[in-house]
Amino acid sequence: MASDVPPLVLDIDGTLTDEPGRLDPRAFDVLPSWDAPVVLATGKSFPYPVSLCHYLGLERNVVAENGGVVLANGEVTYTGDKERAQAVADEFVARGGDLGWGSFDDTNYWRETEIAVSLAADEKLLREVATEYEMDVIDTGYAYHVKTPGVEKGIGFKRLCETLSMDPDEFVAVGDSTNDTSTFGVVGQSYAVANADEAAKAAADEVLSASYMDGTLSVLESIQE
């Protein structure tokens, strides 16, 4: 591998996974030996990317909860109004909505700055309630997220870069959805996988012809050449 590879900031779901969200095992072929920092930037709650770093043998440089939680150099920072997001969820349920995660809600169990809702839920009702509470709802293709306006992966990523004394412009980003557009806006080079939504495709410097991990690997392989 060339030693001058750029640092990476990678989305997880839809980018390192297959369509249902299972980690593509080829991540283990390329990420543990990547010769520059690898940041995982996800909408998932904090333990997911931290665990993934652990099992991939990566430094724990993580943006979780769409920018609500950031870990770099062992320092954790939080942004976002969890109470307000919870109030939206409570009101949504009070009006007959269902978050859709079943009896053990592992999607929100460790979530500290926002609330995620299943795509099977009543989107219209959720958006209605969120608007009343002046909260945003985004659809990542894997969940709806009720989040504080202004909390974004890209902003969290910039914070992470400050902690690491790195320039976001050095990074290459790969992602698949609207929650990656803010990351794409601050890195040097950004790629949307072919399965990406329209927002991600429009924001990326390049739209890949391959989907999911095939797309991500095509970028990583071309960088290494």
Ligand X SMILES: O=C(O)COP(=O)(O)O
8 Å CB contact between 85 and 113: yes
- Closer by beta carbon to ligand X, 94 or else 187: 187
Both tokens assigned to 75: 């320092």
Where residue 212 falls (left for φ over 0; alpha for ψ -120 to 50; beta otherwise) is left
Instruction: Note whether 13 binds ligand X by CB under 6 A.
Output: yes
Q: What is the CA radius of gyration of the chain?
A: 17
To the nearest whole angstrom, how small is the minimum distance from the Cβ of residue 11 to Mg ion?
A: 4
CB nearer to ligand X: pick between 2 and 192: 192
Task: Establish if 197 lies at the interface with Mg ion (CB under 5 A).
Answer: no
Is 214 an active-site residue?
no
By beta-carbon proximity to Mg ion, the closer residue of 14 and 80 is 14
Closest approach of ligand X to the CB of residue 88, in Å: 16
- Regarding 43 and contact with ligand X (CB under 6 A), the answer is yes
Structure tokens at 223: 């960088």
Q: Binding of ligand X at residue 142 (CB under 6 A)?
A: yes
- We find the least distance from the C-beta atom of residue 158 to ligand X, in angstroms, to be 17
CA-nearest of 108, 168, 174 to 143 is 108
- List, in order, residues 6 or more apart from 162 with CB less than 8 Å away: none
| Active-site annotation holder among 11, 81, 136, 197 | 11
Using CA atoms, how far residue 23 sits from 5, 17, 28, 79, in Å, is 23, 4, 10, 27
Counting contacts by CB under 5 A, is residue 97 touching Mg ion?
A: no
Complex with ligand X: residue 113 or 140, whichever CB lies closer: 140
| Residue 11 annotated as binding site | yes
Residue 177 touches Mg ion, criterion: CB under 5 A: yes
**187 neighbors 181 (Cβ within 8 angstroms):** no
CA dihedral 52, 212, 77, 36 (to 10 degrees): 70
Say if residue 153 carries a ligand binding annotation. yes
Rounded-to-integer distance, Cα 217 and Cα 164, Å: 25
* Selected range binding ligand X among 42-50, 95-103, 188-196, 199-207, rule: CB under 6 A: 42-50
Catalytic residues: 11
Known binding residues for Mg(2+) are 11, 13, 176, 180
Q: Rule CB under 5 A: which residues touch Mg ion?
A: 11, 13-14, 176-177
